[in-house]
């Protein structure tokens, strides 16, 4: 629930008269939409993401108790308050509704004032819960997503890519010579630099599902679902240019007299199960990274290798770690450079 947007209330009731009465009771408090059956209510909840649900207990086919059970079993609705509004007055019925996860139980007939007061109370609590959740997933310094949110997003997108055999790209972005920046300008200026860099990255990454997160220190991660290698390289160049366009002076940089970034890109093929690779080169880290335990940590490791290569080649550029689909032999490390 975004405090800048109106709340959304879903009414699920097979009686049109009750829908009209409830809509009038909460008028001006939220955007109201409705469904006249349990199945339609579940579908609408999933498509419209309500902040609160007013639910009738007795409906043909799928009753309110079944609807509540189905919604509360979905993690997406675990924190969405459901208020039963029903003619039932049996305390055992009320107890059953609360046991299923409902937050309140209003017995009809009731006054509009009671409905309005209870709805207002639960919407306010939902807003506070949403804000706490947002704060738990945002890096307080930069406003980008934090490492916890990044790990959760990358894990989700990895599983989705495996199921759909789709592309997934990860870009690690590192501010060049940041220690020297801090030493020369001070830590307060360093914080301002990180905030400006994060804002530039977030302005550049706009597609639904994409994420910019603070990976740690002066390093950021950009998650790009449904993004192939060519588009990942293009995005990396846009990110690099966005930071350069900030024109932040950097007297301590050996690369440019202004703040720049190096970027490491890793992208996966459609068949994740075939990924095996080895790093090569005198300056490269030694050892194999295999997919014996396939997971997003391998994508991070590959992007980290690419970032190392971009730095070794002079910084202020991007390197892409190209995966190999050969499973019978170890594949050499392949880089595609996006140079300055």
Looking at the chain, how many residues does it have?
A: 340
* CATH code, domain carrying 191: 3.30.70.270
Q: Pick the catalytic residue from 94, 157, 218, 229.
A: 218
21 has a pLDDT exceeding 50: yes
In a domain, 81, yes or no: yes
Tokens of 136: 């738990």
In this structure, are 82 and 28 located in the same domain? yes
Q: What is the mean pLDDT of residues 56-72?
A: 93
State the pLDDT confidence band at 87, using cuts at 50, 70 and 90: confident
Residue ending a domain, choose from 83, 117, 136: 136
In this structure, are 94 and 191 located in the same domain? no
State the pLDDT confidence band at 275, using cuts at 50, 70 and 90: very low
In this structure, are 236 and 319 located in the same domain? yes
Q: What is the mean pLDDT of residues 262-290?
A: 50
In a domain, 109, yes or no: yes
Residue with the larger pLDDT of the pair 141 and 206? 141
pTM over 0.85, yes/no: no
* CATH code, domain carrying 87: 3.40.50.2300
Question: What is the DSSP track for 216-255?
Answer: ETTEEEEEEET--HHHHHHHHHHHHHHHHTT--B-TT-SS
Q: What mean pLDDT value characterizes the chain?
A: 85
Q: What is the mean pLDDT of residues 40-45?
A: 95
- Listed in sequence order, the DSSP H helices in the chain are 16-25, 38-48, 64-72, 91-99, 112-136, 147-164, 178-185, 187-204, 229-244, 296-312
Could you list the residue range(s) of the whole structural domain that residue 132 is in? 8-136
In this structure, are 211 and 333 located in the same domain? yes
Q: Are 334 and 322 in contact (CB under 8 A)?
A: yes
In this structure, are 13 and 91 located in the same domain? yes
Weakest mean pLDDT among 10-19, 105-114, 115-124, 165-174: 105-114
In a domain, 3, yes or no: no
pLDDT tens readout for residues 97-114: 999 999 999 998 889 999
The pLDDT value recorded for residue 329 is 33
Helices 296-312, 147-164: axis angle to 10 degrees equals 110
State the pLDDT confidence band at 2, using cuts at 50, 70 and 90: low
Q: Which helix (H) or strand (E) holds 171?
A: strand 168-175
Catalytic residue list contains 131? no
Tally of domains within the chain: 2
pLDDT tens readout for residues 233-272: 999 999 999 999 999 999 999 999 999 999 999 986 443 4
pLDDT tens readout for residues 323-337: 544 332 333 344 455
Tokens of 91: 């305390």
Residue ending a domain, choose from 136, 164, 181: 136
The pLDDT value recorded for residue 5 is 60
Q: What is the mean pLDDT of residues 269-290?
A: 37
In a domain, 2, yes or no: no
């Amino acid at each position: 629930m975004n405090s800048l947007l109106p709340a959304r209330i879903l009414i699920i009731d097979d009686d049109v008269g009750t829908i009209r009465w409830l809509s009038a009771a909460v008028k001006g408090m939220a955007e109201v939409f409705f469904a006249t059956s349990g199945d339609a209510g579940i579908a609408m909840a999933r498509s419209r993401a309500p902040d609160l649900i007013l639910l009738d207990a007795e409906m043909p086919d799928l009753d309110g108790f079944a609807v509540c059970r189905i919604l509360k079993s979905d993690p997406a609705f675990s924190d969405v308050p459901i208020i039963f509004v029903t003619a039932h007055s049996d305390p055992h019925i009320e107890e059953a509704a609360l046991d299923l996860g409902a937050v309140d139980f209003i017995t009809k007939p009731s006054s509009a004032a009671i409905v309005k007061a209870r709805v207002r109370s639960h919407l306010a609590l939902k807003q506070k819960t949403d804000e706490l959740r947002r704060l738990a997933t945002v890096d307080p310094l930069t406003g980008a997503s934090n490492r916890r949110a990044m790990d959760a997003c990358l894990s989700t997108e990895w599983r989705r890519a495996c199921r759909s055999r789709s592309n997934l790209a990860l870009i690690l972005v590192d501010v060049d010579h940041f220690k020297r920046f801090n030493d020369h300008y001070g830590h307060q200026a360093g914080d301002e630099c990180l905030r400006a860099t994060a804002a530039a990255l977030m302005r550049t990454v706009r597609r639904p599902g994409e994420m910019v997160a603070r990976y740690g220190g002066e390093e950021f991660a950009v998650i790009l679902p449904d993004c192939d290698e060519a588009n990942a390289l293009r995005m990396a160049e846009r990110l690099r240019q966005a930071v350069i366009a900030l024109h932040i002076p950097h007297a301590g940089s050996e690369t440019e007299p202004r703040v720049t970034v190096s970027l490491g890109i890793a992208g996966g093929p459609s068949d994740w199960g075939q990924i095996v690779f080895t790093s090569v080169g005198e300056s490269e880290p030694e050892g194999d990274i295999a997919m014996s335990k396939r997971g997003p940590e391998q994508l991070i490791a590959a992007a980290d290798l690419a970032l190392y290569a971009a730095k070794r080649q002079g910084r202020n550029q991007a390197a892409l770690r190209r995966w190999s689909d050969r499973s019978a032999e170890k594949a050499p490390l392949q880089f595609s450079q996006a140079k300055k």
